[in-house]
Structure 1
Amino acid sequence: MPPLALEASEILRRSEQGLCRPFLIRDTQGEIYVVKGVDGVGKSALVSELLCAELGSRLGLPIPPYGLMNIPSALTNFTTIDGASELEGGPAFASKLVGNATSLIYSQITQVPAEVKQRVLVFDKWVRNGDRRLTEKGGNVNLLWEPSSQLVVIDHNVTFEIDGDDAECLINHVFSDEKEKFDDMLIQSEHRAALDSALGAWDTIIDFLPEEWLYRDLMDEDSLVPPTLTERFELLERFQDGDFWRMT
């Protein structure tokens, strides 16, 4: 199922949370989305967001509904909200606002099922996401918790660090307590099969990406925005190497 095709109707406000401070926008159907624009976080970050939303959803991660949002210039030109020009530059990435959810805190970790924690952990290593840290002293977790005891996985604009380090992204990971479980070959094989299945949909997934996000200049097919799709795919392929599954 492709990402939702969304049309903005009202820019409500800018979030006070997160480094990029995304915008809350109401769409033409009355739903509210957390939105990041091209001129705000950049094209590479939006590619990462959509790829992770697609791959994560195929892995069964609890990712909110998401889509590509068109934001009419009239909304950004005439709003009084500071920084609205960051929503320009092409389609924006929109993630549906999860009502009544709050950031996951350390004491709630034990309420998350072990298999979910393992899947988030291996996913973050796979896409090289070092932005899911949490200890008793706090951190930046990018996970939400609903009153109904449901984990929500969000925010992947800093993934796909091609020159990054796998071990580094797992330091103080919110679900580090699950790392030793991957020594179990049965658990490892279940996750390996899930990654293989998700990556098998790569050609379908990349067709969802707007061309505006992939090129610095739409008139120059050689002006690819780094990391390229080829580089991203090669990074994901490393799950086939046995070394990838060494979590400790």
Structure 2
Amino acid sequence: MLIEEVIRRVDRCALNPFLCRTEDGRQFYVKGLNTNYTGLINEWICYRLARLLSLPVPEAELLEIPRELYSSHPNFDWRRDLSVYPLFGSQAIPNASPIAHAAVHGVDSALQLKVFIFDYWIQNEDRTLTSHGGNPNLLINTVSNDIFIIDHNLAFDSTYSVEDSRRNHIFSSALREQPVDLIVQDTFKEKLAQVIAHWPTIVNSIPPTWIEGLEGRSEQHINNIEDVLLRFNNDAFWGALA
């Protein structure tokens, strides 16, 4: 899908994504080299996994910026970050803003647990929020109160700590209030098994240019991700949540 307009750069986000309008009139938050090729691959894989788990994630698209629009932009840094083909776009959610700590208790408890286990599964520590602040990477529609999980470029973190997540994750309280017993484990194991069955399709959907961008490290990166995702088959994976 083509980008028709680069509206602005978003300063309040760590990676400063671009707000763009596409040819069908929708708006997307767009990432390119500002997140690097590893981050783009992580974003795409996590988006596909979240959708298969029916988690609330904004629709994503692989986007292309026309050469004339790209080359005519006066800002060199913008041109550099938009030079990737394709770009990763996460659809903008109307009436959405980062969730406040006071609003967390209003999120359905079952959904809280599902998001926590998802982040634990993908080794994502980048969804934190306590009374002292944090980086929730979670939007709430201020009209409908629907939530949306965003920003998975830092997933599959080899330094991930479940202990830190139990302290700082935005939905860490869900784990304390809803023990992950054998019934819960069996339910989630079945869901994750159904999702991981799509792994070959997900890998094949990664843009070849992103793979090439890793310069020979792509196979190792993809294999490492697969190893992370297959941990749910081990008792130790669930034991850490007990």
Instruction: With the length of structure 2 as denominator, give the TM-score of the two structures.
Output: 0.92
1:64–1:154 contact (8 Å) kept in structure 2: yes
Letter in 2 for 1:9: E
User: Which residue of the partner structure matches residue 13 of structure 1?
Assistant: 8
**Unpaired segments ≥5 residues, structure 1:** 1-5
Q: Distance in 1 between matches of 2:220 and 2:159?
A: 10
1:192-203 pair list within 5 angstroms:
192-203=189-200
RMSD (Å) for aligned C-alpha atoms: 1.7
Q: Secondary structure, in 3 states, of the residue corresponding to 1:21? A: coil
User: Which residue of the partner structure matches residue 221 of structure 2?
Assistant: 228
Deviates most, 179-188 or 138-147: 179-188
1:27-84 deviations in whole A, cap 9, x for unaligned? 01111100001x2211000000000000011111101111100112222221245632
User: Which residue of the partner structure matches residue 3 of structure 1?
Assistant: none
The yes-or-no answer on 1:78 pairing with 2:72 is yes
Q: Distance in 2 between matches of 1:182 and 1:239?
A: 17
Q: Distance in 2 between matches of 1:230 and 1:144?
A: 31
The yes-or-no answer on 1:95 pairing with 2:111 is no
The number of residues matched between the two structures is 238
Q: Secondary structure, in 3 states, of the residue corresponding to 2:21? A: strand
The yes-or-no answer on 1:207 pairing with 2:201 is no
Measure how far apart 1:165 and its partner are.
Answer: 3.2
Q: Distance in 2 between matches of 1:74 and 1:165?
A: 45
Of all paired residues, the percent bearing the same amino acid is 29
Distance of aligned partners of 1:82 and 1:136 in 2 relative to their CA distance in 1, 3 Å threshold: farther
1:62–1:151 contact (8 Å) kept in structure 2: yes
Measure how far apart 1:227 and its partner are.
Answer: 5.3
Q: Distance in 2 between matches of 1:101 and 1:216?
A: 33
Instruction: With the length of structure 1 as denominator, give the TM-score of the two structures.
Output: 0.90
1:142–1:154 contact (8 Å) kept in structure 2: yes
Q: Secondary structure, in 3 states, of the residue corresponding to 2:213? A: coil
